[in-house]
Amino acid sequence: MRRRCTAIIIVIMLLIIPTGILSAENRVSRSGEIKRAVQAEGSCAIVGMSAEQSQLLALQRARASAIEQAAGVSVSSATLVTNYVVAVDFIKTYAKGFIISEKATWLPLGQYQKDPSTAPIPEYRVKVVADVYIPGKRTKPVGLTAKLNNTVFRNGEKARVALSVKRDARIAIFNIMADDRVALLFPNHHETSNLISPKNEWVFPARDSKVELEMHTLPGHEKDAESLFVVAVNRSQNVEFLDMFTVLEPMSFSEFFKKLSQIADYSEDVILPYEVVGTGQ
């Protein structure tokens, strides 16, 4: 059976049955702070991408700006986006503070003009009002490191994630997709064991696995910017990812981070951004 998860296709030989979702708030307490009603704006001029992609980049920039205000991190201020490096910078901010709710208001379409000698370019502009959760001091660190086998994939190429920890930990891998949704890739109902030890590097999917991560752009897109979001929790914490998230069921951006914020004080995370390009690129 092939299950498509936007830019990633999951090939699983068993039927996947959704589980119920249980709140982690019943198991852990939070020491972080919620910054409420943070206002920020973002914009993106349309160059070499679809209107849909430009809108998403504008929204990502607004989110990054909101996180910057709440968490005190630095993000790119570029309006003109001619490649996906800026998008990757925006995505990286998602681990600094978690947007747990947001309201986006699209502003009138503007124009970007570098100088009087160049033609104006349509510019999407958006304002967000967001609640941002800033995690408290993380307890019982596990020393998570993670890397992808590549940062740019062509359609059809396969991805692998290599992980290591310094203490026994339970891990989860999510896909932040190009359609602004997030889905749990691992653990899944074919591979439920997610406890890894510091003895060896751990790879997903394993070489002999029946699961493959095959990269594809969204239909009609020549290029997409996405990421894998890797989360690790010390094994002593009573956290079961399959109780919190339903495998391969896409969630909205803020819905995902609201759930993840419930364990943010007890977890470590690594964001692995990547690009997917069409075979003609």
List, run by run, the mean pLDDT of 10-residue segments along the chain (281 residues): 36 30 40 91 81 88 91 58 59 86 94 79 93 81 93 94 95 94 92 91 89 90 90 91 94 94 90 85 57
Same-domain pairing of 21 and 157? yes
CA distances from 15 to 18, 69, 99, 188, 206 (A): 10, 44, 33, 11, 19
Same-domain pairing of 236 and 148? yes
Residues listed for the chain:
281
Number of other residues whose CB lies within 10 A of the CB of residue 48 = 11
Q: End of a domain among 101, 134, 167? A: 134
Q: End of a domain among 84, 107, 134? A: 134
Same-domain pairing of 19 and 47? no
Residue range of the domain that includes 46? 33-134
CA distances from 49 to 6, 52, 79, 96, 278 (A): 18, 8, 14, 28, 13
Whether omega before 116 lies within 30 degrees of 0, making that bond cis, reads no
Same-domain pairing of 127 and 182? no
Same-domain pairing of 252 and 146? yes
Q: End of a domain among 96, 116, 134? A: 134
Q: What one-character DSSP code corresponds to residue 218?
A: P
Pairing state of beta strands 152-154 and 267-277?
parallel
Structure tokens at 179: 């359609």
Specify the number of domains making up the chain. 2
Structure tokens at 55: 């809108």
Same-domain pairing of 47 and 106? yes
Q: What one-character DSSP code corresponds to residue 135?
A: -
Same-domain pairing of 8 and 141? yes
Q: Is there a contact between 251 and 182 (Cβ–Cβ < 8 Å)?
A: yes
Would you tell me the crossing angle of helices 85-92 and 51-71 to the nearest 10 degrees?
40
Q: Is 87 exposed, middle or buried (0-12, 13-18, 19+ CB in 10 A)?
A: buried
Which pLDDT score, from 0 to 100, does residue 45 have? 81
> What contacts 24+ positions apart, CB below 8 Å, involve 58-61?
58/124, 58/125, 58/126, 59/104, 59/126, 59/128, 59/180, 60/87, 60/90, 60/91, 61/86, 61/90
Q: In what order do the strands lie in the sheet with 161-164?
A: 145-148, 161-164, 202-204
Number of other residues whose CB lies within 10 A of the CB of residue 271 = 18
Q: Is 258 exposed, middle or buried (0-12, 13-18, 19+ CB in 10 A)?
A: middle
Which pLDDT score, from 0 to 100, does residue 19 have? 31
Same-domain pairing of 236 and 111? no
Q: Is there a contact between 44 and 212 (Cβ–Cβ < 8 Å)?
A: no
Model confidence, pTM: 0.83
Same-domain pairing of 144 and 52? no
Structure tokens at 219: 């239909």
